[in-house]
Amino acid sequence: IILISLIIGPASKSHAQDKEPVDVIKVSTELVVFDVQVIDKRSKRIIGDLTKDDFEIYEKGARQPVSYFSRDELPLSIMLLLDVSGSVRPILHQIRDGALSALQRLKADDQVAVMAFATKSELIEDFTNDRSLVSKTIETATAADLLGSGTFLGPALDEAATHMQVAPTAGSRRVIIIVTDNIATSLGMEKRIEEKLLDGGTVVYGLIVRGAIGKVFNIVSLGQIKGVDGYVKQTGGEIFGASKNEVD
């Protein structure tokens, strides 16, 4: 290698002297993309109708120009995390019907995965655009009690958060919708789960549906057992309450 360099070196120099020198100017540019969701601090509601003038970006104290602004409707990657524990089993058919109805409102590019949980959890359908396949999966998940009767949200959400980091379509909005009576425990796993959710850019929504058993537990516990609330708050999602006939 050294010998070749010595031979080529002088020849290259001689060749360069035969030509006029050329000044070369190199300019480096970089487009940095920010994906932003703005939430009202008090109401926790998402704020829309914003324009480029509503935002300021600073780097090391220096204001940077916003070159491009858009409100893009990115496709959704939704994990339906369905509580199939003993306390919701009496109203599972309403939850099933509501979930099936909600699928019809999704767009063609949106993907859905389904995980059921009780004492144990199971990913019963990975991300897919096949609505009929998801419908069959939901019907199967709500038809049996093979996962036990407890409501161990923590291990299920931990597994779901891990899956959300690797499975969805690149660039999609990542959402976990937990359908539960919220009488659930995370077994001290909160911090680890929250870190996984934030690392994966996943927003958690809670749909709280209570049957008779869930209502009794809520009264006995003085409303202190709120399994999904912390995760929703940390990721900027929302909690919705629904009667058994309003799930969709």
pLDDT at 219: 57
Q: Each residue's pLDDT tens digit in the chain (248 positions)?
A: 222 333 334 444 445 555 566 777 776 666 666 777 787 777 767 787 888 889 888 988 999 888 888 876 778 899 999 988 888 888 888 878 878 888 888 888 899 999 999 999 999 999 999 988 988 888 888 877 788 888 889 999 999 999 998 877 777 889 999 988 887 777 788 899 999 998 888 999 988 886 655 565 555 554 555 678 889 988 988 888 777 677 77
| CB atoms closer than 10 angstroms to residue 123 | 17
Please list the residues that pair with 104 across neighbouring strands. none
What DSSP line would sit under 69-92, residue for residue? -----PPEEEEEEEE-STTTGGGH
Q: Are strands 111-117 and 57-59 parallel, antiparallel or unpaired?
A: unpaired
Scan for tokens 């969709």, then name that residue.
248
Phi, psi values for residue 29, rounded to 5°: -125, 150
Its pTM stands at: 0.69
